Amino acid sequence: MSSTNKSSQTRLLGPLMVDVAGLELTAEDRELLCHPLVGGLILFTRNYRDPEQLKALCAEILALPRPSRLLLAVDHEGGRVQRFRVGFTRIPAMRSLGQLYAEDFKRALGEARQHGATIGQELSAYGIDLCFAPVLDIDHGVSSVIGDRAFADSAETIIQLARAFRAGLNSAGLCATGKHFPGHGAVVADSHLELPIDRRKEEEIRGRDLQPFRVLINDGIESLMMAHVRYTTVDQEPASLSRRWIQDILRKELDFAGAIFCDDLSMGGAAVVGSMEERARRALEVGNDMLPVCNDRAAVTALIDALHDVKPDRAASARLKKLYGRHVENAA
Q: Could you report the per-residue pLDDT of 2-54, keeping only the tens digit for each?
A: 444 444 456 899 999 999 999 999 999 999 999 999 999 999 999 999 999 99
> Looking at this protein, which amino acid is placed at residue 206?
R
Q: What percentage of the chain carries pLDDT values higher than 90? A: 91
In a domain, 96, yes or no: no
Report DSSP letters for 227-259, one per residue: ---EETTT-SSBGGG-HIIIIIIIIIIS---SE
Q: Is 192 a catalytic residue?
A: yes
Print the domain residue range for 61: 1-74+296-327
> Looking at this protein, which amino acid is placed at residue 231?
Y
pLDDT(157) > 90: yes
In a domain, 30, yes or no: yes
Query: Strand 81-82 and strand 177-181: pairing?
Result: unpaired
Q: Which of 29, 129, 137, 263 is catalytic?
A: 263
Q: What percentage of the chain carries pLDDT values higher than 70? A: 95
In a domain, 60, yes or no: yes
In a domain, 218, yes or no: no
With beta carbons less than 8 A apart as the criterion, state whether 17 and 72 touch: no
In a domain, 318, yes or no: yes
Beta-carbon contacts of residue 178 (< 8 Å; ≥ 6 apart): 134, 135, 136, 162, 212, 213, 216, 221, 223, 224, 225
Is 180 annotated as a binding-site member?
yes
pLDDT of residue 6: 44
Q: Could you report the per-residue pLDDT of 78-135, keeping only the tens digit for each?
A: 999 999 999 999 999 999 999 999 999 999 999 999 999 999 999 999 999 999 999 9
**Mean pLDDT value across the chain:** 94
Nearest to 224 by CA among 204, 206, 245, 244: 245
pLDDT of residue 315: 97
- Cα four-point dihedral sign 122, 125, 126, 132: positive
List Cα–Cα distances, 206 to 53, 128, 182, 231, 280, in angstroms.
45, 34, 9, 11, 27
pLDDT(199) > 90: yes
Alpha-carbon radius of gyration of the chain: 19
Q: Is 263 a catalytic residue?
A: yes
Query: What's the pTM value of the predicted model, to 2 decimals?
Result: 0.94
Q: Which of 50, 104, 192, 305 is catalytic?
A: 192
Is 35 annotated as a binding-site member?
no
pLDDT range class, residue 272, cuts 50, 70, 90: confident
Is 149 annotated as a binding-site member?
yes
Q: How far apart are CA 305 and CA 293, in angstroms?
A: 14
In a domain, 8, yes or no: yes
In a domain, 183, yes or no: no
pLDDT range class, residue 329, cuts 50, 70, 90: low
Q: How many domains does the chain have?
A: 1
Q: Could you report the per-residue pLDDT of 295-318, keeping only the tens digit for each?
A: 999 999 999 999 999 999 999 999
In a domain, 61, yes or no: yes
* Alpha helical stretches, state H, 205-270: 210-219, 243
Is 83 annotated as a binding-site member?
yes
pLDDT range class, residue 327, cuts 50, 70, 90: low
Is 179 annotated as a binding-site member?
yes
